[in-house]
Structure 1
């Protein structure tokens, strides 16, 4: 249940906190709010909300896999994944908010229902990695926490749980093959590693992540 600086229980709490931040951020959005630009290039907030909602639906497929042994991939195809994101701007604000909320609650309920044995069952991510179901809360925590910032409503990396930021920095720096990190506050280092806007002086530019 442990991977370096995090546990599955940690990740479930971070996913809960990130979901709360994200749902609070969109609570008062009307159509104009969702059609405004996000922090991510070429994505509106509607695209981003649809992506996060579709991610919850996809992770529910992996929860089903872990619970039943029936192989249910996150997405049937790359085209299906893209279609889920693309339909965001076509939905009304209420429809998009309802999808975002319902999918998040359905995923949380599915995770809560897994037994100790089912948590150890192996599933396959959209990137083709075979992982135990204990990895699913971390996958969701990354999505909701980072994308809560990406909405561009004023939520920053400093608003995310410090334990999450530590685990995120550890994971991304390892994946990027970095042996050293710039000096600076943890939230700014995490933002830099994630390829998001930051205040670190003289830090080299990194490519996109997540």
Structure 2
């Protein structure tokens, strides 16, 4: 496409957007131009993916185990719903300047999960649906400047509020797999898988966790060496990026090969 044709196409898109906004009226909300577009896209697509896997479950299946040890599916759904509310509090903090942490106490998160897991199925499904709508409203109310305001995560990290888009993305996509009804890392957008792998390794580095191995991908990308090279030889773990991401996040090993006798133990993600 020529430069002139591209400009005409872009002008047409902007005209269409302006017409849509005029029809929707002043009450419609849109993402700021400074919003993290890719992260919000992942978060919204992941929310739809989680909702689809949740809707595939009958009410009587919600009390069955999830892939998270000791958690029922109901507790997992409650956690995902209350996570949206916690991220909403961070977004409100960035918008208003009034400190509203994700959780008031260390016990709040665990208490919400236990209580939420006892909710009737309809209430549990509504919790998930309503919480994600509220979070989206708060995201769309952030101005361009406010997206760079700093907030504090539950782990104590100071981050710009735009980080909440990534925090929500990993939450909904990975926990959709944890529902244990057919969700797969193979369904994830490829760039999201790459970001998850990078996120796991970055979390280990921040905490000073030790692991030593080489990630070898089945495509033509360069391998990733994990750990201190001076620590000696490292076993090579080979597989597709989705299968490696599944293992790194603690969701088990599928279709991976290792040139050592067994896969090494790895630290937790977060």
Superposed pair shares fold, TM > 0.5: yes
Q: Does 1:201 align with 2:257?
A: yes
- What does residue range 38-57 of structure 1 map to in structure 2 within 5 Å? 38-57=66-85
**Which among 183, 195, 204 is matched to residue 238 of structure 2?**
183
Q: Is the 8 A contact 1:29 1:93 kept in 2?
A: no
Other structure's SS at 1:131 match:
strand
Structure (1/2) with the larger helix percentage:
1
Give me the whole-angstrom Cα distance separating, in 2, the residues matched to 1:132 and 1:85.
Answer: 26
The Cα offsets for residues 118-146 of structure 1, whole Å up to 9 and x where unpaired, read as: 00101011111110011110011111111
- The match for 1:163 is 191
Structure 1 match to 2:228? none
Cα distance, 1:28 vs structure 2:
4.3
Distance 1:208 1:152 in 2: 20
CA distance in 1, matches of 2:239, 2:110: 36
Q: Is the 8 A contact 1:35 1:44 kept in 2?
A: yes
TM-score, normalising length from structure 1?
0.92
| Structure 1: runs of 5+ lacking an equivalent | 1-6
Deviation of the 1:102 alpha carbon: 0.6
Distance, in Å, in 2 between the alignment partners of 1:69 and 1:97 is 31
Q: Distance in 2 between matches of 1:10 and 1:205?
A: 32
Question: What is the count of residue pairs matched by the alignment?
Answer: 204
Q: How many angstroms apart in 1 are the aligned matches of 2:60 and 2:120?
A: 10
Deviations 1:122-171 (A, max 9, x none): 10111111100111100111111110111101011111111111111112
- The higher relative CO (CA closer than 8 Å, separation ≥ 6) is in 1
Q: CA deviation digits over 1:96-137, x for unaligned, max 9?
A: 000001101111121122111000101011111110011110
Q: Quote the RMSD (CA, aligned, Å).
A: 1.6
Moved over 6 A (4+): none
Q: Secondary structure at the match of 1:180?
A: strand
- 1:112 equivalent in structure 2: 140
Distance 1:29 1:93, change over 3 A: farther
